[in-house]
A = this chain, B = another copy of it.
Amino acid sequence: MTAMASEKTVERLSLYRRLLLRLRDDGADVVFSHQLCVPVGVTPAQVRRDIMQLGCSGVPHAGYKIKDLLAAIAEMLDAPQSQRAVLVGVGHLGLALLTHFSGRWRWLHVHAAFDVNPSKHGAIVRGCNCYGLDQLPRIVREWRVEVGVITVPMDAAQTVATMLCDAGVTGLLNFAPLRLQTPEHVYVENVDLTTSFEKVAYFARHPARLANNKNAERDAASEKDRADVPG
């Protein structure tokens, strides 16, 4: 059915979804491409193209049905049955993530957490226990866990990543400030807060703005997407 989406496309779909959910809760049934483009920071054409890739069709003067879009995005992004993740490193950051994400989604469940520190073992948040690292391979294998979240200190990150990959995960969300060496088939998403911080500091100091999602506002406001036929 739908072909493989690119990283950028997946990012936008995630944003569209959150926006659509809010619109739906506000009572809207349909939406136009120029409504979606502003908060995501792209042009209406980009939105239409993304929706096309989803396999959805709109109606020229009537827009897209929000229900259809949500269903199509869910089919693309969410696991058909259910998908499990584990988190390793129940420190400041790990605990914040667990608190925030546990039980938030039906289709992606944070199944367990791990830490070397025995004082962290036991129940952490509802539906998620913390174990010693020795339990990791068994639990990941038994529950067919596909996603690993790494929130251990830098020095331990590579070891943990290797354990997770060996145990069979195929996706890693890495918060440690280094690039992990992983097998070819494992997808790694690095959330590098140090880099993000340095980026903001740099651009905050430089008044000349990069294309910073700002141009889209203008585009949508004046709806430049339509051909302004010359002559």
Residues of chain A having any CB pair with chain B under 8 Å: 4-7, 10-11, 14-15, 18, 39-41, 76-79, 83, 85, 91-93, 95-97, 99-101, 108, 146-147, 169-173, 177-179, 181, 184-185, 187-189, 191-210, 212-214, 217
Stoichiometry, as copies per complex, reads 2
> Contact between B100 and A205 (Cβ–Cβ < 8 Å)?
no
User: Contacts A146-B205, A206-B4 given: A100-B108 contact, CB under 8 Å?
Assistant: no
Which residue of chain B has its CB nearest to the CB of A204?
B171
> Contact between B179 and A210 (Cβ–Cβ < 8 Å)?
no
Chain B residues with Cβ under 8 A from A15's Cβ?
179, 192, 195
> Contact between A209 and B187 (Cβ–Cβ < 8 Å)?
yes
> Contact between A92 and B85 (Cβ–Cβ < 8 Å)?
no
Chain B residues with Cβ under 8 A from A181's Cβ?
217
Contact of A179 among B7, B39, B191 (CB under 8 A): B39
Contact of A171 among B76, B179, B189, B200 (CB under 8 A): B200
What is the CA–CA distance of A203 and B170 in the complex, to the nearest angstrom?
8
> Contact between B7 and A210 (Cβ–Cβ < 8 Å)?
yes
Which residue of chain B has its CB nearest to the CB of A73?
B198
Chain B residues with Cβ under 8 A from A93's Cβ?
93, 96, 100
> Contact between B79 and A6 (Cβ–Cβ < 8 Å)?
no
> Contact between A169 and B79 (Cβ–Cβ < 8 Å)?
no
User: Contacts A191-B191, A194-B18, A195-B15 given: A213-B6 contact, CB under 8 Å?
Assistant: no
- Minimum C-beta distance from A207 to chain B (A): 6
- Minimum C-beta distance from A197 to chain B (A): 6
Chain B residues with Cβ under 8 A from A172's Cβ?
200
What is the CA–CA distance of A48 and B40 in the complex, to the nearest angstrom?
34
> Contact between A179 and B4 (Cβ–Cβ < 8 Å)?
no
Chain B residues with Cβ under 8 A from A194's Cβ?
14, 18
Closest 7 CB pairs of A and B: A171-B204, A92-B96, A187-B203, A171-B200, A14-B195, A170-B204, A146-B204
> Contact between A200 and B213 (Cβ–Cβ < 8 Å)?
no
Chain B residues with Cβ under 8 A from A202's Cβ?
5, 10, 76-77
Chain B residues with Cβ under 8 A from A204's Cβ?
83, 146-147, 169-171, 187
Chain B residues with Cβ under 8 A from A41's Cβ?
179
